[in-house]
Amino acid sequence: QRKNPFSNDDRLASKPVHTHRGDSTYGRPPEGSQTEQRGKDAHSHVGKEVEELCSIIRRTGEVGEDGHVSVTFGQLFETYVTISNKVVGILLRARKHGLVRFEGEMLWQGKDDDVVITLL
């Protein structure tokens, strides 16, 4: 459509043609677009959920000898699932940011109830 002389759609003419791997805008939505705003909103929402998870661990956990607060996955799951059903995903995000520590790649309800989650 970009090369069609009969097209009157201005939206097509304003879009960049293509980006390539080395380009800083590769894989990113155009600045100021609704897609960019939705991404920023989602990032902010997940950040708030991570903060809330950490505060729940702080409230329900016990301080260990090392001074860190710890809670078992089973106890955290029972407390947090009434707030959000995304507890495992939020835990993985918190670990990615260095806020919590636990063993294993993924936690499963029932099977991993005794896994200790430590707030860093």
Q: Which helix (H) or strand (E) holds 69?
A: strand 69-72
Query: Average pLDDT of 62-68?
Result: 91
Please name the residue that has the structure tokens 């005794």. 114
Crossing angle of helices 87-96 and 73-80, in 10° steps, is: 120
- Per-residue model confidence as pLDDT tens digits over 95-104: 999 999 999 9
Q: Provide the pLDDT for residue 15.
A: 55
- Per the confidence metrics, is the pTM higher than 0.75? no
Higher pLDDT, 80 or 48: 48
Phi and psi torsions of 79, nearest 5°: -75, -45
Pick 51 or 19 by higher pLDDT. Answer: 51
Break the chain into its structural domains and give their ranges: 34-119
Class of the domain covering 34-119: mainly alpha
Instruction: Give the pLDDT of residue 58.
Output: 94
